[in-house]
Structure 1
Amino acid sequence: MPPPAVSTASVRTIFYRFRRNRRGSAAVEFALVAPVFFALLFAIIETGLMFFASQVLETITQDSARMIQTGQAQTASYTQAQFQSYVCSQISALFSCANVYVDVERYPAFTNVTINSQIDASNNFINNMQYNPGGPGDIVVVRLFYQWPLFVTGLGYNISNLAGSKRLLTATAAFRNEPYPN
């Protein structure tokens, strides 16, 4: 059995040699930093894509609302399904038409406009969509909803406001119908 001083010295020299050797330090440092880096990168990409989708939904809403504002939908006697189909014809590959909800409501005055939340206390989407485009000079609010799926929520970055890791994207257009001929 070697004396304890020799074994302590040999352990110390092995430890010093290990500390001086830097061949694998970059791989170890990357392994420590990579999960945080990729989580942050994916959260930024997902947030940017969600904001882009929100802007696309806003554009679709404005373009679709123009059909009602000018009276084209009313004179063509569009039903809710036909107007939904018109909205879907403008949707890019970013959305699934089956998940786009359209709400069109008429109000007697701008002061009477009420925008209720479409999310209940359990974070579920409330699907009470209506279609009432009004007539010439009526005040109308067109709202489009889309349940955007989120993927990076498990990494501590959770911007979902619906159950099932989804974010409700909403776009609204409020206007007075033009005085189109009936």
Structure 2
Amino acid sequence: MDQKASFCGRFDPSRRPDAPARGFWWTVLIGDEAGASIEFALLAPMFIAVLLAIMNTVLIYLAQEGLESASEQASRLLLTGQIQTFQSYNGATQNTGMTAAQFKSAICGTLSYSASANASTQTSFGGSLLPPFLDCSSLYVNVVPASSFTSSNTTPPTLSVDANGNIVGTSFSVQSGATTQNQVLVVQLLYLWPTVTGPLGMSMGNTPAGNRILTATEVINTEGYPCPPGTVGTC
């Protein structure tokens, strides 16, 4: 065999590589895949935790904005005296002003009451003030008076969560017979927002159940609204 033939033979691209070369590259490829799998197994929990944290943050901000909007509209009902002058009947007994449960139902658009003596129950006080992604069962209302704007305490009340996961410690000062014209009120809507716990135990909840308490606060000075004719007591 001449030199040219020998040269072409050694570098013929159609020849199969010898066994030792094939084993070496196969080991390199398998080793790279195994290393990538190990890296993914180590980094995946942290990556998923970061994604869940971002998702939770976005949803919390969205819920907070919806709660802020609802608190502004609910405060306006108190500002203009619609809650304080609200009249309903329990049989033949007239009641002036909403209770805490009625005010929450008015916010949720589910208020049921009798508009006249011995009348059947009706539901009517406008639609829900909450956006569709907020559920009324997780809403809590806290309304307290203040002597002035400067003395109003806008921090959330001392709250706790009972064994059933409900917020306890809220109050409602605007009840039947309460005098609230030209009065400073601190209006707070609180909401238990569910969060998702990440694979590394990362959670944005601030309750034992993993929920996050959201708070929207408004400080208002009620108008000098007139009491409706036939009001029993003050409004």
- Name the counterpart of 2:26: 17
Q: Which has the larger radius of gyration?
A: 2
Give the share of equivalent positions with the same residue, in percent. 31
2:141 paired with 1:102: yes
**Change in 2 beyond 3 A, CA 1:177/1:118:** same
Structure 1 residue 142 corresponds to structure 2 residue 183: no
Deviation by residue 1:98-144 (Cα, 9 ceiling, x = unmatched): 2211011112222332335434599x875122222352210001111
Q: Report the CA distance shift for 1:15/1:32 in structure 2 as closer, same or farther (over 3 A).
A: farther
Counterpart residue number, 2:218 = 173
Aligned position for 2:125: none
- What is the 5 A alignment of 1:119-130? 119-120=159-160, 127-130=168-171
Identify, as 1 or 2, the structure richer in helix.
Answer: 1
**Conserved in 1, the CA contact under 8 Å of 2:71 and 2:216?**
yes
**TM-score, normalised by the number of residues in structure 2:** 0.62
Distance 1:153 1:166 in 2: 13
Could you tell me whether the CA contact under 8 Å between 1:54 and 1:169 is conserved in 2? yes
Separation of aligned partners in 2, 1:127 and 1:159 = 21
1:16 is displaced (CA, Å) by 5.4
Q: Compare 101-110 and 86-95 and name the one that shifted more.
A: 86-95
Q: CA deviation at 1:65?
A: 0.6
CA change 1:152–1:12 in 2 (3 A) is: farther
In the TM superposition, what are the counterparts of 1:49-68 in structure 2 within 5 Å? Answer: 49-68=59-78
- Aligned counterpart for 1:80 among listed residues 100, 104, 109: 100
Q: Where does residue 172 of structure 2 map in the other structure?
A: 131
CA shift in 2, pair 1:104/1:11, >3 Å: farther
CA contact (8 A) 1:118 1:125 kept: no
List per-residue Cα deviations over 1:15-74 (Å, max 9, x = no partner): 653114588479635555443322211221111101110111111011101000011111
How much is the aligned-residue C-alpha RMSD, in angstroms?
3.2
Partners in 2 of 1:12 and 1:128 — Cα distance? 76
Aligned residue pairs total 172
- Aligned with 1:118 (options 158, 164, 187): 158
Tell me which moved more, 19-28 or 75-84. 19-28
TM-score (norm. length: structure 1): 0.78
**Distance (whole Å) between structure 2 residues aligned to residue 11 and residue 146 of structure 1:** 68
Report the counterpart of residue 41 of structure 1 in structure 2: 51
C-alpha separation between the residues in 2 aligned to 1:178 and 1:14? 88
Structure 1, gaps ≥5 residues long: 1-9
